[in-house]
Amino acid sequence: MSAFARRDGVLHAESVSLIDIARQFGTPCWVYSRQALEAALEEFQRELLGFDALVCYAVKANSNLAVLDVFARRGAGFDIVSGGELRRVLAAGANPQQIVFSGVGKSTAEMELALTTGILCFNVESAAELERLDMVARGLGKTAPVSLRVNPDVDAGTHPYISTGLKENKFGVAYQDARALYRQAARLPNLRVTGIDCHIGSQLLDPAPFAEALDKILALLDELAADGIVLHHIDLGGGLGIRYRDEEPPTVHAYLQPMLEKIGQRRLQILVEPGRRLVGNAGVLLTRVEYLKTGDAKNFAIVDAAMNDLARPALYGSWHDIVPVVSGPATSIPWEIVGPVCESGDFLGRGRELALADGDLLAILSAGAYGMVMSSNYNSRPRAAEVMVDGSAVHLVRRREEIEELYALERRLP
Ligand code: LLP
């Protein structure tokens, strides 16, 4: 059963009415369900039972400490992409030996922090980064565990902005260069080659490209073994899609099973880096209608959330279902659901058939992933509050920002 369901016509998060949450914490407000987070993680862990495997949650999807805490308590590891994310997961109680560090632009300071923390692995994305990491590790008298992120040049068939596994993308090392680069890595004295990884894109709805990428990675693994380079783990990346509207994403079973079969008897630890699939449908953005403005061409419902809160519709043209918190019998007309930000691109949904009145509460669904983390203070709008529901309890897990905080770091001229 979904963690967000109606009771007597009112949308609830687990046992808590969204009307009560709006009353208590105001709007806009992000609402997460602990139960949904745990269920999503469990689906991966169940599938990987019996394997030497680790689910490394991709922190970038939603980095609230409470979300990280829920996952850490359930034994998840973490995939981070910055020193900031590293500090966050440590603050949430992560085990350093369950942290992998991805990203094309790790700075020296970030490498130092990760080396002194003692993370599981650096997912290295270029020859230049290999050299830098070796040098930084030498400076600290340490050995850096490394995996190369190999770009398998497969088409993930997803939005061009979130497709990462093609030759023309900035990510990873080119497939044909990987073998030579591994040999180079094995020669560098302060690196220890431990794994291989690959991430081909996000919101994938077809398991085939994952399997295609894995075939290439496994072929490379055999070549490396012939060179005397034996790897300890394989990291399959993230990217499994969710339902926003009417998509039919594969089950975790249908996604993982073919890959687990291919990996077969190889003695490899298996890592996965899901982000969206663990948090996307575990969160909604709660917003209130400020004004209704009907017209010849369009009807606008101006709500108190905006593109600075949820950027995905403006940025990618993404669809998020938008539903009234209180369902009623009134007749629907099409509405442009827009925010107060001064841009025509500031929309959350277009042409939505809804029966609306001033002051109505709306829930923007599937907003748990790449929502709050991509929000900004554009138009000097404070970031919204975040709450987590756990059964009948509601915890404020990030309070709403205060206006003064928005310019607290700024100074007038002397
Ligand atoms: N691992 C790596 C190396 C990644 O770059 C990503 C996401 C993930 C794992 C997690 O992917 P997921 O399982 O969440 O698909 N802002 C975009 C999505 C950007 C994804 C970036 N990388 C959006 O709102 O759709």
Note whether 196 and 213 are within 8 A (CB). no
Question: Which distant-in-sequence residues (6+ apart) come within 8 Å of 108 by Cβ?
Answer: 132, 136
- Does the structure show a pLDDT above 80 at 166? no
What's the whole-number mean pLDDT along residues 113-122? 98
Q: Which residue, judged by its Cα, is nearest atom 24 of ligand 1?
A: 370
What's the whole-number mean pLDDT along residues 276-287? 98
Q: Give how far the C-alpha of residue 157 lies from the chain's centroid of Cα atoms, to the nearest Å.
A: 19
pLDDT bracket for residue 114 (50, 70, 90): very high
Q: Which atom of ligand 1 is nearest to the CA of 369?
A: 24
- Does the structure show a pLDDT above 70 at 241? yes
Q: Which atom of ligand 1 is nearest to the CA of 274?
A: 13
- Does the structure show a pLDDT above 70 at 243? yes
Peptide bond into 249 cis (omega under 30): no
- Does the structure show a pLDDT above 70 at 32? yes
What's the whole-number mean pLDDT along residues 389-408? 98
Q: Which atom of ligand 1 is nearest to the CA of 202?
A: 15
Residue span(s) of the chain under CATH 2.40.37.10 come to: 4-32+280-406
Specify the pLDDT at position 158.
65
Alpha-carbon distance 230 to 219, whole Å?
13
Alpha-carbon distance 89 to 67, whole Å?
10
Q: Give how far the C-alpha of residue 330 lies from the chain's centroid of Cα atoms, to the nearest Å.
A: 37
Specify the pLDDT at position 163.
61
Closest CA to 205 of 129, 301, 276: 276
pLDDT in tens, 314-362: 999 999 999 999 997 788 999 999 999 999 999 999 999 999 999 999 9
Pocket probe mutation, ligand 1, options 44, 57, 60, max atoms within 8 Å of Cβ? 60
Residue span(s) of the chain under CATH 3.20.20.10 come to: 34-277
Can you name the CATH fold of 4-32+280-406? Lyase, Ornithine Decarboxylase; Chain A, domain 1 (2.40.37)
pLDDT bracket for residue 235 (50, 70, 90): very high
Alpha-carbon distance 185 to 129, whole Å?
11
Alpha-carbon distance 404 to 413, whole Å?
18
pLDDT bracket for residue 162 (50, 70, 90): low
Handedness of CA 64, 45, 278, 271 (dihedral sign): positive
Q: Which residue, judged by its Cα, is nearest atom 22 of ligand 1?
A: 202
Question: For 191-211, what is the HEC assignment?
Answer: EEEEEEECCCECCECCCHHHH
Superfamily (CATH) of domain 34-277: Alanine racemase (3.20.20.10)
Specify the pLDDT at position 19.
98
CA of 403 to the centre of ligand 1 (A): 31
Specify the pLDDT at position 160.
60
Neighbouring CB atoms inside 10 A of 113's CB total: 18
pLDDT bracket for residue 2 (50, 70, 90): confident
Pocket probe mutation, ligand 1, options 41, 273, 366, max atoms within 8 Å of Cβ? 273
pLDDT in tens, 38-96: 999 999 999 999 999 999 999 999 999 999 999 999 999 999 999 999 999 999 999 99
Pocket around ligand 1 at a 6 A CB cut-off? 58, 61, 79, 102, 162, 199, 202-203, 237-240, 273-277, 312, 370
pLDDT bracket for residue 229 (50, 70, 90): very high
Note whether 269 and 240 are within 8 A (CB). no
Pocket probe mutation, ligand 1, options 71, 276, 372, max atoms within 8 Å of Cβ? 276
Q: Which atom of ligand 1 is nearest to the CA of 312?
A: 24
CA of 282 to the centre of ligand 1 (A): 16
Specify the pLDDT at position 330.
80
Average pLDDT score, the chain: 96
Alpha-carbon distance 289 to 303, whole Å?
4
Specify the pLDDT at position 71.
98
Question: Which distant-in-sequence residues (6+ apart) come within 8 Å of 88 by Cβ?
Answer: 59, 63, 65, 68
Q: Which atom of ligand 1 is nearest to the CA of 123?
A: 3
CA of 238 to the centre of ligand 1 (A): 7
Q: Which of 29, 56, 121, 342 is catalytic?
A: 342
* Chain position carrying tokens 């790897």: 231
CA of 370 to the centre of ligand 1 (A): 9
- Rg (alpha carbons) of the chain, rounded to whole number: 23
Question: Is 29 a catalytic site residue?
Answer: no
Specify the pLDDT at position 156.
76
- Does the structure show a pLDDT above 70 at 165? no
Q: Which residue, judged by its Cα, is nearest atom 23 of ligand 1?
A: 370
- Does the structure show a pLDDT above 60 at 1? no
pTM score, whole prediction: 0.97
* Chain position carrying tokens 């300071």: 109
